[in-house]
């Protein structure tokens, strides 16, 4: 890769290659400082952004940040690039691409037409020269719709993952959290459990539990146990009622190898889940989670900045047509995103980049207890992402995950976002909430402080039987 220069006044700035230029242009974050790839100061960062804006988009097709021969994700990005979809923007620079994205002439339909012509590196590059309001405005234009037992991602809608985790996988504890979440209108994206005991037998037990709840109350949603993809494949082979296959993914082959899978594993899992034919309105069967910093924490970033590595993970996601992709934005900790400002910026970047690539993005709006952040920061990011058209967020009792020990968004937070932004749950799920007299038919507010009559038999009783 050739050197990049930029002359400003009497000083010439040197960037050793495109990888270095991308990293130096990235808004400040602790992970890039830790990786020793960040700009040395704000002046160098701005100069790098100015130089990056001049780079032709075509250059990203000829310059691999991670060598083609060494990385299957690079090969995926290059081999499946759609030249015809790229043609309308092929003569633009990164800066011109930004202006094109912000133009009123660039509509939702326009963005959907070019998405397969975009590479993660192009999208990461343009995000680095955009303000927060730019990221929100363009993401708002995007619409990525997916389906399994309901329809997620429609404009004017906000879905939630009901996350009833328990530190001992106690059935009654999970039941209580599930009931609580449903009564607040949560759970249309998925009812998803992070198992405290992660093995095939426990995953199967929890899958059967959630399947019984969903079937008993005819809830138009899907379940997922967030176990390793190979465990889920084994669960399917043993006849467990699997709706969605989960896996955490990264943006380099080495990152994913450290997680214990590759692209072939994901293909096997997708085919196994599709063979069950459990969806009713669609067949998007995969659920992926990502997060800035995962490649660096695995010592697998190849000198690439953490945000670009993150966006490369969306190429993996796009390949397998997932129902849900969730950036767990503040979960890794302050070593990678130091405070509320860095977490908020990263969340807006991830959502923008994923949506532009055609990925159904949600966000776990969260932070660890040793980060310089608090719930007000999360309120801010929740509101910004709601305005930007996020597909889904998390719903957890009291914002506090008692199993994973981090802070995120609550059942009440989802109600707040839906009310102030006039957003609905997934249409099939909303109809169910109205049928069960949980929501009013007019404005979506809660109807009852107690369990509605049509929902009088508690989920704990169902599970207890």
Which of 239, 215, 240 shows the shortest CA–CA distance to 225?
240
What torsion do the CA atoms of 236, 238, 241, 242 make, to the nearest 10 degrees? -20
Question: Across-strand partners of 290?
Answer: 327
- Burial of residue 430, with CB atoms counted within 10 A of its CB: 0-12 exposed, 13-18 middle, 19 or more buried: buried
- Burial of residue 73, with CB atoms counted within 10 A of its CB: 0-12 exposed, 13-18 middle, 19 or more buried: buried
The pLDDT assigned to 442 comes to 55
pLDDT for 338-370, tens place per residue? 999 999 999 999 999 999 999 999 999 999 999
User: pTM, whole model, 2 decimals?
Assistant: 0.95
State how far the Cα of 176 lies from the Cα of 343, in Å rounded to an integer.
31
The pLDDT assigned to 2 comes to 80
pLDDT for 178-226, tens place per residue? 999 999 999 999 999 999 999 999 999 999 999 999 999 999 999 999 9
Residues of the chain under the 50 pLDDT cut: 458-460, 462-465
The pLDDT assigned to 405 comes to 86
Which of 406, 404, 409, 405 shows the shortest CA–CA distance to 194?
404
């Amino acid at each position: 890769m050739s050197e990049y220069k930029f002359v400003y006044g009497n000083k010439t700035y040197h960037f050793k290659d495109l990888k270095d230029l991308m990293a130096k242009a990235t808004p400040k974050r602790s992970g890039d400082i830790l990786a020793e790839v960040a700009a040395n100061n704000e002046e160098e960062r701005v100069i790098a952004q100015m130089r990056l804006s001049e780079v032709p988009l075509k250059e990203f097709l000829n310059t691999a940040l991670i060598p083609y021969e060494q990385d299957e994700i690079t090969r995926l990005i290059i081999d499946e690039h759609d030249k015809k979809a790229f043609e309308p923007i092929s003569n633009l620079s990164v800066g011109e691409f930004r202006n094109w994205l912000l133009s009123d002439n660039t509509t939702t339909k326009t963005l959907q037409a070019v998405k397969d012509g975009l590479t993660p590196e192009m999208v990461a590059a343009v995000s680095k020269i955009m303000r927060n309001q730019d990221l929100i405005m363009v993401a708002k234009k995007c619409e990525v719709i997916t389906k399994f037992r309901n329809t997620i991602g429609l404009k004017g809608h906000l879905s939630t993952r009901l996350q009833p985790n328990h530190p001992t996988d106690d059935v009654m504890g999970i039941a209580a959290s599930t009931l609580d979440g449903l009564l607040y209108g949560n759970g249309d994206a998925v009812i998803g459990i992070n198992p405290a005991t992660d093995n095939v037998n426990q995953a199967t037990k929890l899958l059967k539990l959630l399947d019984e709840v969903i079937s008993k109350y005819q809830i138009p949603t899907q379940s997922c146990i967030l176990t390793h993809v190979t465990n889920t494949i084994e669960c399917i082979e043993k006849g467990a009622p699997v709706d969605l296959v989960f896996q955490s993914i990264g943006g380099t082959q080495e990152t994913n190898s450290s997680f214990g899978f590759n692209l072939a594993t994901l293909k096997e899992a997708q085919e196994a889940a599709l063979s069950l034919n459990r969806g009713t309105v669609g067949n998007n069967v995969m659920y992926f989670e990502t997060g800035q910093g995962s490649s660096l924490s695995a010592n697998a970033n190849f000198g690439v900045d953490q945000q670009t590595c993150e966006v490369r993970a969306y190429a993996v996601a796009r390949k397998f047509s997932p129902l849900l992709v969730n950036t767990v934005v503040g979960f890794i900790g302050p070593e990678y995103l130091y405070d509320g400002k860095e977490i908020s910026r990263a969340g807006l970047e991830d959502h923008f980049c994923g949506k532009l690539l055609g990925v159904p993005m949600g966000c776990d709006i969260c932070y660890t207890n040793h980060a310089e952040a608090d719930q007000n920061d999360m309120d801010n990011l929740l509101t910004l992402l709601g305005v930007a058209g996020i597909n889904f967020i998390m719903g957890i009792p009291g914002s506090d995950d008692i199993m994973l020990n981090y802070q995120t968004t609550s059942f009440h937070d989802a109600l707040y976002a839906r009310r102030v932004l006039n957003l609905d749950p997934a249409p099939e799920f909303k109809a169910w909430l109205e049928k069960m007299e949980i929501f009013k038919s007019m404005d979506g507010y809660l109807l009852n402080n107690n369990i509605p009559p049509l929902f009088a038999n508690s989920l704990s009783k169902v599970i207890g039987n």
